[in-house]
Amino acid sequence: MRFRWHKEYILIFLMIGLLVSFFNGYARHEDGTLGIIKLPNEGCPVILSPGQTFNIVAEQKGTIFLIDNEKNIIPLNVQWEEKKTEIYKGSVILMGEDIKAGSYSIQIITEGGAKDVNPRSIWVQNEFREYYTFAHISDIHIRSDSLQDENAITFQTIIEKLNQSDAQFILLTGDLTHEAKTEQWQVFLNILNQARKPTFVCAGNHDRNEDNYEKMFYTSTYAFRYGKDGYIIFDTREYRTADSWGEQDTLLYRYRRELKSSRWTFGITHRYEFTMGIRSQIILFVDDPIDFILYGHTHRENTREESVIPWGKTRVYVVPAEKDGFYRIFDVGEGGLFPRPIQNVKGK
């Protein structure tokens, strides 16, 4: 009986969330795929301080605005690069007296008058602390188009828990859906947008259905800085894990160099396997080893033997499956990365 009440609670909460999203100008396409603005988005946001610059990727050029939670619209100055590919890249300076700490949607109004909004894409912090926390969840496996699906309810419950936690942001390391179907993505995004923290996603092997993942989040390889630390999110796909033929090795090398000055550098991915492309391993674990790697995939915590990547310098933290109720919060400080005990919302 109590459980049923709980589900109804969640349903009401989701409805409110959908309404909030609607009035906030939620503007992905009807099937959940990205509209005009590709980056940043709610799975690949930016966290920065006033005066800093961030990059925008869009299908069309236009004027850029921030929208805060009170629906105030703040114009920003954007410098668009000359178009070299099928998309436009721009550089936006976060300047304006009205910009306070908090979350913002990013809006574009194109030269042709078309409008697009990505919610929860810009997170402004006045300062970055030396000591901070983040949450790690993985293997959510949204299976159906129903918000009442068991995995969807678990995801919702954990997002609620993390909203109340002291985590500054949430890392979601793949298998966000079970089959990467449109309706599964829609449920995932609905719940993701309940989060009141920045959410960074990466692709898992279950998130592959042609190029659906890229249509939802545009890129599966990116990096960001949080204060003194660097985070590299990369793709370890099914079967041939991190192949050497495509563009990812280029990006991994570039990000690794850009984040070389970081206090700590984190690799965020869905899995690590011995069969992972040797070039990616050389870049991340050998020539200039990252300090920590966080992933999921196995649905269990790593064993003691698995606590270091075999090349010897990168510490491993694997979180059990979120669909089974698990999540973990980490403290980060001068001394390194400190995992708190793994939590479970299902009482396991």
Partner 1 sequence: MKKVFPVLFLFSFYIINSYRVFSDENPEGHIAYLCGLDIDTYRVHTIELETNVEKELTIGTHHGAPVWSPDGKKIAFSSKMEGGLYIVIWDSVTDKYKVLKHQYSWNDTPSWSADSKYISYISCEKGLTDQKAVVYDIEHEKEEFWGGEKIPSVINPVWFPKLDILNAMSATVSQVTYTEGFDINKFFEEGYSIGVLIGVAVFQSAEKMLTTELVLFSKTQATPLPKELMLESARFEELNPQVSPKGSSLVFETNEAGNREIYYLGRRGISNISNHHLADWNPVWSPNGEWVAFESFRHGRRGIYRVFPETARVFPLVVSGDYDAWSPAWSPDSQWICFVANPSGKPQLYLKHIEEDKIIPLTEKSVSVAPCWRPKTK
- 70, 86, 97, 334: which one binds partner 1 (CB under 8 A): 86
Token pair belonging to 335: 């001394």
- The answer to whether 103 and 196 are in contact (CB under 8 A) is yes
Name residues whose C-beta falls within 8 Å of residue 160's C-beta, 6 or more positions apart in sequence: 13, 194
314 interacts with partner 1 by CB under 8 A: no
Q: How many residues bind partner 1 (CB under 8 A)?
A: 33
Between residues 243 and 291, which has the closer beta carbon with respect to partner 1?
243
Query: Which of 135, 54, 130 shows the shortest CA–CA distance to 95?
Result: 54
Binding residues among 182-221 for partner 1 as defined by CB under 8 A: 208, 210-211
316 interacts with partner 1 by CB under 8 A: no
97 interacts with partner 1 by CB under 8 A: no
Query: Residue 319: what are its φ and ψ, rounded to 5°?
Result: -105, 140
CA-to-CA dists, residue 331 to 43, 134, 294, 295, 337, angstroms: 22, 7, 14, 17, 6
3-state secondary structure of 294: strand
CB of 282 to partner 1, least distance (A): 7
Near partner 1 by CB under 8 A, which window of 58-66, 159-167, 168-176, 271-279?
271-279
Between residues 4 and 84, which has the closer beta carbon with respect to partner 1?
84
Binding residues among 272-311 for partner 1 as defined by CB under 8 A: 273-276, 278-279, 281-282, 286-287, 310-311
- 312, 335, 341, 347: which one binds partner 1 (CB under 8 A): 312
Strands (E), the chain: 37-39, 46-48, 53-58, 62-67, 73-80, 88-93, 102-110, 115-124, 132-137, 170-173, 199-202, 222-226, 229-233, 265-268, 292-295, 315-318, 326-333, 336-339, 343-344
315 interacts with partner 1 by CB under 8 A: no
- 15, 16, 87, 114: which one binds partner 1 (CB under 8 A): 87
Tell me, residue by residue from 45 to 84, as one string, x for binding to partner 1 by CB under 8 A and - for no binding: ---------------------------------------x
258 interacts with partner 1 by CB under 8 A: no
Give the DSSP letter of residue 207. G
- The answer to whether 153 and 10 are in contact (CB under 8 A) is yes
- 2, 126, 245, 341: which one binds partner 1 (CB under 8 A): 245
- The answer to whether 137 and 204 are in contact (CB under 8 A) is no
Contact positions vs partner 1 (CB under 8 A):
84-87, 208, 210-211, 237-240, 243, 245-247, 250, 253-254, 257, 273-276, 278-279, 281-282, 286-287, 310-313
